[in-house]
Structure 1
Amino acid sequence: MQMTLLTNPIIISVVVMTLLCLFRFNVLLSLLVAALVAGFLSDFTMLHTMDVLIEGMKGNLKTALSYILLGAIAAAISKTHLTAYLIKLVSHLISHKKYLLILSLALLSCFSQNLVPIHVAFVPILIPPLLALFNKLKIDRRAVACALTFGLTTPYMILPLGYGLIFQNLLVENLVKNGVLVELKDVTNTMYFAVICMLVGLFLAVFVFYRKPREYKETQIANMDFDKLAMTHKEWAVLAGLVLTLVCQIITLNLPLSGLLGFLLMVILGGVEYKKVNFVFDDGIKMMGFIAFVMLVAAGYGEVLNQSKAMDVLVNSVVPWMEYSKFLAIFFMLIIGLIITMGIGTSFGTIPIIATLFCPICLQLGFNPALIIFILGVAGALGDAGSPASETTLGVSVGLNADNNHDHIKDTCIPTFIFYNGSLLFVGSLIALFL
């Protein structure tokens, strides 16, 4: 039987995976089931499909190791008062002026992706003590949710440090694997355009849609006493490890090595007690291990799709109608990235899948490397904001709902989905036309 677009193993497999994820079936199992579906429709035996998947997993080993080591560093930070003390030091930036306060929070949250790679774990420390101030200034917390999400999402797309180095290396590796020869500097120089999309979303949320005063019920909550915080030997030792990690990243552009050296320095200086190394590392694996495995299996799934012999048919099927409109071609690919990321729940795990799908199509359409980088980078990031299962939205809601006055779906997910995914889709598609 002749293969058509609707019977293409790649299309069917991706639809199966996306539907399973959207119905909250386990993400790892969804990827494995989808890989078996792709293999079966491509006349692979189940054994051969699993062999291909396992072989393909090695493509994300560096990324997975980076995540595990960053998780260990984040766990080490969480065992100290370092984050709280650093927030205390920069608290003079947070004024009683409404807009300066909101924008300061966006700036501070940017540091959680690179300078202090603790990701969203800083939100429950920083936000609850400020809720009374938000209420006094009658700030709409949906604006704060958008500001925090901006800082948790934008840096990893544009800065090759911390989580950003993982994301950009992931883009490079998967682009090269699928026939687009690029270097890290090419990705960094191109992804800066994504800032425009994110700034548009931030401006609309803070200054247009959520600028009106909003009243909240006053509730007493337990706050950390910032006045009694002090930098002890433990905090200084962890800070030294963070500085070493950051410096090594800049010099070597190798995050696993940088993370390992930084963590070891924390242990040597006493920031992490030797007898507690196992516990801290276990916490790091609990924090980031699942995402690391998702990225490994996603790489293996991408390899199954790559070897399914259906890619040429897919390219020949979709390229003719995509040639009619460059804008619609870009927009359609970004929509697919949004759906997949919303299902999987991690932008990092989306990259290997969409690289396998989009690179052959983009090359056939004659897109230049900068445009392909931008499409994959934005398509991968789409959905990280706004997904109910995303670490970003969950963490933001935990902080803002400390007094039970903030709804996860209505006040975090819907606003961040509209202003960031909407902006990345429409503004991103327009920017891509000029790359």
Structure 2
Amino acid sequence: MNAVVAAVLVMLALSLMRVHVVVALIIGALVGGLLGGLGIEATLAAFQGGLGKGATVALSYALLGAFAVAIAKSGLAHAVADKALGLVERQQSSASGWVKALLLLVILAVAISSQNILPIHIAFIPLLIPPLLYVMARLQLDRRLIACVLTFGLITPYMFLPVGFGGIFLNNILLANVADSGADIANVNVMQAMALPALGMLLGLLVAVGISYRRPRHYVMDKIAQTERTGGQYSPLTLLVALVAVVFAFVVQLWLNSMIVGALAGFVVFSLSGVVRWREADDVFTEGMKMMAMIGFIMIAAAGFAEVMRETGAIQTLVGSSASLIGGNRAMAALLMLLVGLLITMGIGSSFSTIPIIAAIYVPLALELGFSPMAIVALVGTAAALGDAGSPASDSTLGPTAGLNVDGQHNHIWDTVVPTFLHYNLPLIVFGWAAVMIL
């Protein structure tokens, strides 16, 4: 069996058996390295060598966690939650449907905006979601639905809209790598190429909202109360300071292109204003870093896992062996290349990192089979995006879990990873394959 396939399957199987994702990634990397012929020492060396590549992201999320706790101290998020709770309490149970719809629309709009209008990616989740858990529980909203809404908002904008993170993914990575690999993209409209795959994502969201998670789900209110206060103390001054800190952090992040410095700058505003008292600053900072620690460690372990997979050379072998099975069958070619992309991204956890790996082999093969440049862009883009939803090591699943599991009532694998995999990867394969065949 191919080393990458074996490593990803082991990692996924262990995760589904509720083994912690970090442990599953380490064991999966060892299995892949040994099957790939590296030996135990070379496998460990590659894994340890790759850990540093995830350190920047991990530190960014840790500082964002500290910033999130400072915002919680200001009461900004709780002010929003209190307004939502007021709406719930004023409504009869028969009229609460519109409140649920409004809450879902707000969360979706914020998630989409986090990719372009305010490009902070998952940083908003620990700020917004925990204070809303009490409201969600009162409305008996299934958190698996919230996870699907958040993941849709984190992925679909970058794979369809060429602004913000989408500008990086579509223009700087996707089109650039396709062009470097030999395809003429002069007349390619990237939004047109990715429209059908994005429609598949939308279908998955509609199924989650309208069919899969319509039934009420009950959560233990006492656990929520122990972790999140539902009526926090805030004043116009603390809310103003919070808004200034958010804007300042955003400006610094864009100016220096550093999420780390941006989050740190926002935290400093809270400290200097007195919203976070100087003697409490250390405890607040530590609390925030703990909140995001799981994401950081998983991202670091995923970077080590990815480095082992690269060192084995099994990714190129996997892509090459799938090409040898294709012959001249274009339909089979498109399907196999999409499935290989799914496997690679599920293991690496990043669609942005998958494109450079697959484009160099996919593009020449697709040109040989007679696919148009537009179809090739759709093929490579969809193959990379596949697996971002549903990967245990992707920040598109780790982010929602970090916000929804603060009270221990939301399992990362069964409540985020599995639902997002089923609702997004399956339609992405179908709609991505259709796009490649039609364009």
Q: Same fold (TM over 0.5)?
A: yes
- What's 1:126 paired with? 132
**Matching residue within 183, 203, 207 for 2:206:** 203
Q: Does 1:377 align with 2:377?
A: no
Q: Does 1:49 align with 2:53?
A: no
- Counterparts of 2:50 and 2:175, CA distance in 1: 14
Task: Give the direction of change, closer, same or farther, for the CA distance of 1:79–1:217 in structure 2 (3 Å limit).
Answer: closer
**Matching residue within 55, 58, 61 for 1:64:** 58
Q: One-letter code of the match for 1:273?
A: R
Equivalent residue runs for 1:216-235 within 5 Å: 230-235=234-239
- What's 2:305 paired with? 301
Residues 198 and 423, structure 1, Cα contact 8 Å, conserved in 2: yes
Percent of aligned pairs with the same amino acid:
26
Task: Give the direction of change, closer, same or farther, for the CA distance of 1:416–1:64 in structure 2 (3 Å limit).
Answer: closer
Task: Give the direction of change, closer, same or farther, for the CA distance of 1:189–1:65 in structure 2 (3 Å limit).
Answer: farther
Q: What SS does the corresponding residue of 1:109 show, helix, strand or coil? A: helix
- Counterparts of 1:218 and 1:25, CA distance in 2: 24
- What's 2:371 paired with? none
- Displacement, 1:175? 7.6
Residues 168 and 188, structure 1, Cα contact 8 Å, conserved in 2: no
- Counterparts of 2:415 and 2:314, CA distance in 1: 42
Residues 315 and 360, structure 1, Cα contact 8 Å, conserved in 2: no
- Counterparts of 1:49 and 1:156, CA distance in 2: 33
- Displacement, 1:307? 2.1
- What's 2:369 paired with? none
Cα root mean square deviation, aligned: 4.9
- What's 2:370 paired with? none
- What's 1:105 paired with? 103
**Matching residue within 273, 283, 286 for 1:282:** 286
Task: Give the direction of change, closer, same or farther, for the CA distance of 1:352–1:26 in structure 2 (3 Å limit).
Answer: farther
Q: Does 1:257 align with 2:257?
A: no
Residues 120 and 152, structure 1, Cα contact 8 Å, conserved in 2: no
- Displacement, 1:152? 1.7
Q: What SS does the corresponding residue of 1:379 show, helix, strand or coil? A: coil
More deviation in 410-419 or 243-252? Answer: 410-419
Structure 1: stretches of 5+ with no match in the other structure: 1-5, 136-140, 342-347
The CA deviation string for residues 128-177 of structure 1, in whole angstroms up to 9 with x for no partner, is: 34655x48xxxxx45x852x3344223322557xxx97899799999899
Residues 237 and 269, structure 1, Cα contact 8 Å, conserved in 2: yes
- Counterparts of 2:66 and 2:170, CA distance in 1: 24
- Counterparts of 2:213 and 2:198, CA distance in 1: 21
Q: What SS does the corresponding residue of 1:380 show, helix, strand or coil? A: coil
- What's 1:332 paired with? 339
Matched residues, number: 399
The CA deviation string for residues 355-383 of structure 1, in whole angstroms up to 9 with x for no partner, is: 68645553453374564233222421235
The CA deviation string for residues 210-263 of structure 1, in whole angstroms up to 9 with x for no partner, is: 77xx78999998989988864254443333211112233445543223222222
Q: One-letter code of the match for 1:108?
A: V
The CA deviation string for residues 66-119 of structure 1, in whole angstroms up to 9 with x for no partner, is: 212211112222334210113445789989655542332123224368469341
Task: Give the direction of change, closer, same or farther, for the CA distance of 1:243–1:39 in structure 2 (3 Å limit).
Answer: same
**Matching residue within 34, 45, 53 for 1:40:** 34
Q: Does 1:28 align with 2:22?
A: yes
- Counterparts of 2:415 and 2:307, CA distance in 1: 39
The CA deviation string for residues 330-375 of structure 1, in whole angstroms up to 9 with x for no partner, is: 542465368x47xxxxxx8455885686455534533745642332
- Displacement, 1:20? 2.7
- Counterparts of 1:256 and 1:59, CA distance in 2: 15
- What's 2:73 paired with? 79
Residues 180 and 369, structure 1, Cα contact 8 Å, conserved in 2: no
Q: One-letter code of the match for 2:385?
A: G
The CA deviation string for residues 260-311 of structure 1, in whole angstroms up to 9 with x for no partner, is: 2222222222232222222222222212122222222222222222122434
Residues 66 and 256, structure 1, Cα contact 8 Å, conserved in 2: yes
**Matching residue within 4, 7, 19 for 1:13:** 7
- What's 1:362 paired with? 362
- Counterparts of 2:387 and 2:219, CA distance in 1: 40
Structure 2: stretches of 5+ with no match in the other structure: 182-188, 367-374
Q: One-letter code of the match for 1:291?
A: I
- Displacement, 1:63? 2.0
